[in-house]
Structure 1
């Protein structure tokens, strides 16, 4: 797999595929930027000057023997640097070519720049996040960048590879982050404006329903309550010894339920509540910070040696387990091109001036 993407979405997608055994060669150079350290494992990094004949020749050599090519340029840029779909497809008709962009290859915004927050906004998700009396709040860059971008691209690539086994042909994937957001919002679009999701900050899953929200503990930390179903809510209410179990789906009871739960959870620390609910099936969990994950029993037992600087390879396979590869961002151009029959002298020419500042250090976020 050849990866010419940057920032987060594409590199996350190629990391997922590297965890599953793909040989990922990340191609950089010139103004392409530096790799994200957390998304670089299991990959080799090379530098090519695609303005030079030698650089383009090296790219064509790689493409001829590759299965997947992924790029994250604005529409038209890959064509201008000799890495477009049509040109590479002629070299290798079995190539799966994936473009990862925010808005896709068509439409009035196709050529515009953007980030996760913009794709969430255009995709109808951002307007549903956050409190009713404040501005929308993006959930980091998890939804559009990682889920709607990298994960969807990886899923599409695997699907295209599977299809190629039947047809024998490669194909083009237009993986747009807005498309991913639109797809993931299907259930919530259907609920929007109704009883379960009347507006931002209001509704069953929006944080206003007392059975599905976070509560402050005596130490200022929080527990997350997801006691939606009747049985779970009854277990919660009875465990707290709050009397007769009310109808928690009736909005007329929400103020009373919230007041009772606020008062109850405020009497103990988060750690104490974690222990209290350890054996009670009420969907109550601590709100952990990243630094606490390695010490939490579910994480530590399922992923022995868990570290936040090297997240687990997922999902868990019964036979062909995904593997966390080593992270080595040193420039491997000569070594990689040598495997494709390109001698060191030609490899150095392929790097050319693009090697100035490329793949020599890591920096995130970009500045």
Structure 2
């Protein structure tokens, strides 16, 4: 049982990839009881003492259902009667064709929050088409500005669409829906689209463009590697450091600690025409020392500085160790739950479950007894 702020909340998660599981992880980390509905065909014999290596799947129980079997679909609807929310990441219309769409689920539980995660949304010219993160953020205007001057846009992993503009947006929507349902007693459908979420993440840049302080030419602006004081630089050992010395007082620290404070060229911080030249000059300075040497100089100063760490290095950094930013679950190092709460403490509720590992326990929640479960297995509705 979770102890976080969502403790006492039950969420049904339809098996999927990427953003919907990320949403399920976030809700579980905050204390919700999340039940993942896996496809019956994915259920195999497994050793429960050796959990899968899937960080996004942590903290859930799992039931194996054949939703194309009427008895399997009915089992899900009976489970919905005992749930607060359901999240799914299928293409529009899939849940309806299975007979477990919003209409059927809300008929069983009028207070259910029904969260839907798609790339393009539940309607619109693209809504039935396939796509991935890179496509959604491209249409949202979030991909084109990312990259260096004179080079093509760079895909920022799948952080902007799948996770920031996708799963996190759905988790926010579910939390808002749960809050509203407590007051109204009525559930509702949440249409979370990655193209919408990625566009929302770009709000500040629309403001900057309207103010005339953001150029459409990629890699020439304050925050897109255009400036010499907001970028990453290679060090003598081939490692990298990051600087973000935007404000004048932080910029003054940057030029002082790099030994450039007496250089007249660096006195005009915001002279955009000088940025490419100053970038070359400061890059040469940073290449003269190793990353560790720059850390000794700039750590705990107001430069706005940090070493660029690998996935292996980040959990070992003293700051992250002090804050328990990372944890280990079933032998796998992974990010700890966030954000932090002072009273209702969030935690990882357990390692990932094998598909169908908790089928009998979950069916009991839905009101099935042992004889009922045997019958469901006989019909192939559950695995």
Work out the CA distance in 2 between the residues paired with 1:220 and 1:76: 50
Change (3 A) 1:304 1:115: closer
Residues of 1 paired with 2:313 and 2:31: CA distance?
A: 30
The one of 249, 260, 264 aligned to 1:231: 249
**Counterpart-to-counterpart distance in 2, 1:95 and 1:186:** 31
- 1:5 offset after TM fit, Å? 4.2
Residue deviations 1:174-197 (CA, integer Å, cap 9, x gap): 111111011111111233484433
2:72·2:381 contact (CA, 8 Å) conserved in 1? no
TM-score by length of 2: 0.88
Partner residue in 1 for 2:292: 271
Q: State whether structure 2 residue 341 is matched by structure 1 residue 317.
A: yes
Maintained 8 Å contact 1:202/1:208: yes
**Number of aligned pairs?**
356
**1:280 CA displacement:** 2.0
What stretches of structure 2 of length at least 5 have no aligned partner?
A: 1-10, 45-51
Question: Cα distance, 1:165 vs. partner?
Answer: 1.6
Change in 2 beyond 3 A, CA 1:348/1:273: farther
Partner residue, 2:229: 211
Q: Distance in 1 between the 2:342 and 2:271 partners? A: 44
Given the alignment, which residue of 17, 20, 24 partners 1:7? 17
The counterpart of 1:25, out of the listed 35, 45, 57, is: 35
The answer on 1:148 being equivalent to 2:161 is no
From 183, 188, 193, the equivalent of 1:171 is 188
Cα shift at 1:235: 0.6
**1:119-268 matches, cutoff 5 A:** 119-192=136-209, 194-242=212-260, 243-244=262-263, 245-268=266-289
Maintained 8 Å contact 1:246/1:253: no
CA RMSD across the alignment: 2.1
What's the CA shift for 1:73? 1.2
TM-score (norm 1): 0.91
Of stretches 79-88 and 302-311 in structure 1, the one that deviates more from structure 2 is 302-311
TM-superposition CA deviations, 1:99-126 (whole Å, max 9, x none) = 1100111101111111100101111111
Task: Identify the range of structure 1 (151-160 vs 275-284) with the bigger mean alpha-carbon deviation.
Answer: 275-284
CA offset at residue 258 of structure 1? 1.6
SS at match of 2:148: coil
1:302 is aligned to 2:319: no
Is the Cα contact below 8 Å between 2:136 and 2:194 reproduced in 1?
yes
SS of the aligned residue for 1:127 comes to: coil
In structure 2, distance between residues paired with 1:103 and 1:305: 33
Q: Identify the range of structure 1 (329-338 vs 105-114) with the bigger mean alpha-carbon deviation.
A: 329-338
Deviation at 1:345, TM superposition (A): 4.4
- Correspondence for 2:47: none
Give secondary structure in 1 for the equivalent of 2:340: coil
Of 3-12 and 129-138, more deviation after overlay is shown by 129-138
SS where residue 190 of structure 2 aligns?
strand
Tell me the secondary structure at the aligned position of residue 280 of structure 2: helix
Match of 2:302 in 1: 281
Residue 213 of structure 1 aligns to a residue whose secondary structure is: strand
Partner residue, 2:84: 67
Task: Please give the secondary structure, in 2, of the residue aligned with 1:7.
Answer: coil
Structure 1 residues 155-178: Cα deviation after superposition (integer angstroms, max 9, x where no partner): 011111111121111111011111
* TM superposition shift of 1:205: 0.5
Q: What corresponds to 1:365 in structure 2?
A: none
Look up the match of 2:5: none
Q: Call closer, same or farther: CA 1:36–1:74 in 2, change over 3 Å.
A: farther
Alpha-carbon shift at residue 57 of structure 1 (Å):
1.9
User: Partner residue of 2:367?
Assistant: 341
* Distance verdict in 2 for CA 1:32–1:86, change over 3 Å: farther
**Residues in 1 aligned to 2:351 and 2:26: alpha-carbon distance in whole angstroms:** 14
Return closer, same or farther for 1:46/1:254 CA change in 2, 3 Å cut-off.
same
2:351 match: 327
The alpha-carbon distance between structure 1 residues 92 and 36, as it changes in their structure 2 partners (threshold 3 A), is farther
Q: Structure 1 CA distance, aligned partners of 2:204 and 2:224?
A: 13
Q: Shift of the alpha carbon at 1:279?
A: 3.0
Q: Which moved more, 1:3-12 or 1:130-139?
A: 130-139
